[in-house]
Amino acid sequence: MRERELAPYAARPGRAGGRRHREPPPRGRSEYQRDRDRIVHSGAFRRLEYKTQVFVNHEGDLFRTRLTHSLEVAQIARSVARSLRLDEDLTEAIALAHDLGHTPFGHTGQDALNACMKPYGGFEHNLQSLRVVDLLEQRYAAFDGLNLTFETREGILKHCSRRHAPGLGDVGARFIKRRRPSLEAQIANLADEIAYNNHDVDDGVRSGLLDLEQLSRVKVFARHMRAVQHEHPRVSGTRLRHETVRRMIDTLVTDLIRTSEAHIRRHAPASLEEARRAPPLIAFSPRIRDESLDLKQFLRRNLYQHYRVTRMSNKARRIVTDLFRAFLSDLHLLPPEHQARAQADAPRAIADYIAGMTDRYAMLEHRRLFAIEAA
Ligand code: MG
């Protein structure tokens, strides 16, 4: 979409908030397209391929990883942004970057690292994603990080505690002033939720940890599955599951667009600034919100707390905790470049190193440190 076709409340690439280091304007692409391209070329983005969503990478080739998850989020976010005449490239950049700071082994990894870092300021994957794009990526001669625009950075920082906000400068300010991020960022956030709820249903069944029988006790799944069975009485198994999940995604996306349109009409923001001061304008309707929460609870009880997932999480927690303790007890165990960074702040440098690991690299590093027979 050309800049002049964007809605008045869209983020305009021509007025993009400054990068932290001055650079000449991009040629042949917009500021937000440049952000997206930098994210795709980053090392942290490639590592998402081997980081877990729910299933650890070696458990199967067909499960979602953080990379395919991020691509699904970007696709959903772009569709919604386009319908609302918002900047697709900005929402895409935020979606592709939103999980860059994720540890290996999904939420278990994050919780374990946060527990290790408790005495040293904690660990939070949103803040870490920002740290990756602001500091940890080293690809440019003139600066650390990717030097992204303000709008992309504020979108990456989805949540932030009031304790951390003052230390984060421009992107922390909205948590103190209680303002919203751009509508493009709000979309990326809800697209994340649509993506994971639905692909976790799909992966859950594929892995054999969930079955259609159980899922038919979830209202939203049952409703869509019945509709598919009604229209296609002979469809079953994998195709029934895919068709049901596809319809659930479609319903969520359509509802998100319609409800947001209604909110935008009611508040009629004349600019991005007014959209930031309005209540959250990108939202689901109350009915769809409830259905979505219902599905989330079902997944928590039946998939995330499934004994086989719990067993893997238990191992993951041990790996992360063992690595952290070993490095902290002897910084010489760290690879040289991380040792150098550890001189200034050892716990944070160790957290950066562990957070950057893929699932399999963390397992390998654990073997190298703890298995007597390993090299
Ligand atoms: Mg995500």
Residues 3, 262, 259: CA angle, nearest 5 degrees: 100
The alpha carbon of 329 and the centre of ligand 1 are apart by a number of angstroms equal to: 33
Q: 11 C-alpha to center of ligand 1: Å?
A: 22
Tell me the C-alpha distance between 230 and 135, whole Å: 54
Average pLDDT for consecutive 10-residue bins of the chain (375 residues)?
91 91 94 98 95 70 82 98 98 98 92 97 94 96 96 94 85 91 98 94 90 94 96 94 96 98 97 96 97 95 90 92 98 95 96 96 95 76
Taking the centre of ligand 1 as the mean of its atom positions, its distance from the CA of residue 64, in whole angstroms, is: 11
Residue 66: half-sphere exposure toward Cβ, Cα within 13 Å: 28
The closest alpha carbon to 106, from 302, 310, 325, belongs to 310
Task: Give 187's Cβ-side CA count (13 Å radius).
Answer: 37
Domains of the chain plus CATH, in order, are 27-310 (1.10.3210.10)
Ligand 1 mean position, distance from CA 100 (Å): 9
Q: Dihedral angle at the C-alpha atoms of 336, 342, 347, 350, nearest 10 degrees?
A: -20
Ligand 1 centroid, distance to 70 Cα (angstroms): 6
Cα 54 to averaged position of ligand 1 atoms, centre (Å): 11
Ligand 1 centroid, distance to 157 Cα (angstroms): 12
CA of 8 to the centre of ligand 1 (A): 28
Smallest Cα–Cα separation from 101: which of 119, 67, 118, 124?
124
pLDDT in tens, 198-240: 999 998 998 889 999 999 999 999 999 999 999 999 999 999 9
- According to the model, what pLDDT value does residue 309 have? 87
The per-residue pLDDT for 372 is 85
Query: What predicted TM-score, i.e. pTM, was given to this entire model?
Result: 0.95
Give residue 202 CA to ligand 1 midpoint distance, Å: 16
